[in-house]
Amino acid sequence: MDRGMEFAVTRINQRCCNINEAIEILKEGNIVAIPTETVYGLAGAISSETAITRIFAIKNRPFFDPLIVHIADIGACRNLCAEWPKAAEVLANVFWPGPLTIVLKRNPAVNPLITAGLDSVAIRMPRHQVALDIIRGVGIPLAAPSANKFGRTSPSCAQHVIDEFWDDDLRVVDGGACEVGLESTVIGIGNFGVEIYRPGMITKEMIEHALNEKGISLGVKYQQSSASPGHLSSHYKPKKPLVLVTTKDINFNEYYLEEVKKTLNLSGSKYAELDLNKMPTIVARTLYASLRDYSESDCDFILGVIPSHYNTAASDAIVDRLRRAASIII
């Protein structure tokens, strides 16, 4: 191994820490990146205002964008929300631990910095043993956004976090590649129905089915929410521009290449194409890693062509993220 390589490996090792070290860091009111089954999170104990402030600072995240609170047992919700509707009970029992975030009325005890001053709080129980062990070890729920700079692609392995925060003093617990690969489904529960603010791998159909099974007749619909400002368009941007083809039967030929080159002011028209043809769960798992890898390659732009069989609920989440990451949509 040459000296430069050796130095890089040492720096990467220095960036990692184990579960016990992470628990200590969090108990001291500092922040640490942790694995979850969706993406890596940048975690701080909800009791530490210093940690919460640092999360926003290190991410360059605006204070109007609220954080998700991560718990390890359902009982913790009692101290976080002011209401616990029957639908929340049902969905939590079916989908937790797992990639579903439920937005509920906030308990005034929750620091408004976490909820961006909203009267609601977003809660989720992750399905990654390391995350659960850390939350239990700290004994306090953890606020954690995805561990990336604001507006950028979420990290689906520890190396992504290290790359993203290379210049910052941040440790990460390496829990392997994320099993799901896309951020959790975010839902709100109102008197008249369930609203999906951010689609994810827990789909509309799965939520409807779970509610129906328990005789709860609430409708479920997609809803853009100003209360979910983190789900802005122009989010999840890779470093190289993404060109997304959503129109069916387009032949991405010379004409389109020239148009893309002109519109994006590129010096060349070499592209790397995302492989979107596998099952949505498989595509989701590696999507963010591909966006990052291609951004580091010598291509001028990344191409994504939505396959015509993409009409299932699970593919909605993938198309949603690609649309937000895209610089051009055809």
Which residues sit at the interface with ligand TXA, rule CB under 6 A?
Answer: 36, 38-39, 41, 65-68, 99, 101, 103, 115, 118, 120-122, 124, 126, 144-146, 183-184, 186, 197-198, 225, 227-231
Which partner from the list Mg ion, ligand TXA, none does 227 bind, CB cut-off 5 to 8 Å by kind?
ligand TXA
* Nearest distance, CB of residue 179 and ligand TXA, angstroms: 11
Which partner from the list ligand TXA, Mg ion, none does 35 bind, CB cut-off 5 to 8 Å by kind?
none
CA distance 149 to 59: 4
In a 3-state reduction of DSSP, which class is residue 195?
strand
* Nearest distance, CB of residue 63 and ligand TXA, angstroms: 12
Q: Measured in whole angstroms, how far is the alpha carbon of residue 69 from the centre of its chain?
A: 13
The answer to whether the bond into 97 is cis (omega within 30° of 0) is yes
* Nearest distance, CB of residue 184 and ligand TXA, angstroms: 3
* 146 vs 315, beta carbon nearer Mg ion: 146
- Residue linked to tokens 């104990």: 45
CA distance 45 to 144: 9
- Sign, Cα dihedral of 67, 143, 79, 113: negative
* 117 vs 219, beta carbon nearer ligand TXA: 117
CA distance 309 to 327: 23
Q: How far is CA 220 from CA 121, 200, 227, in A?
A: 20, 14, 18
CA distance 61 to 321: 19
Which partner from the list ligand TXA, Mg ion, none does 36 bind, CB cut-off 5 to 8 Å by kind?
ligand TXA
* 103 vs 257, beta carbon nearer ligand TXA: 103
* Nearest distance, CB of residue 140 and ligand TXA, angstroms: 16
Pair 175, 166: CB distance under 8 Å: no
* Nearest distance, CB of residue 93 and ligand TXA, angstroms: 19
In a 3-state reduction of DSSP, which class is residue 303?
strand
> Which residues contribute to the site for Mg ion (CB under 5 A)?
146
* Nearest distance, CB of residue 120 and ligand TXA, angstroms: 4
Which partner from the list Mg ion, ligand TXA, none does 30 bind, CB cut-off 5 to 8 Å by kind?
none
* 115 vs 315, beta carbon nearer ligand TXA: 115
Which partner from the list Mg ion, ligand TXA, none does 58 bind, CB cut-off 5 to 8 Å by kind?
none
CA atoms within 13 A on the CB side of 141: 28
| Chain position whose Cβ is nearest to ligand TXA | 230
Question: What is the secondary structure of 172-188 as a DSSP string?
Answer: B----S-SS-SPPEEEE
H or E segment at 95?
Answer: helix 86-95
* 80 vs 242, beta carbon nearer ligand TXA: 80
Q: What is the DSSP letter of 110?
A: S
* 48 vs 146, beta carbon nearer Mg ion: 146
* Nearest distance, CB of residue 165 and ligand TXA, angstroms: 15
In a 3-state reduction of DSSP, which class is residue 221?
strand
* 233 vs 265, beta carbon nearer ligand TXA: 233
Which partner from the list ligand TXA, Mg ion, none does 273 bind, CB cut-off 5 to 8 Å by kind?
none
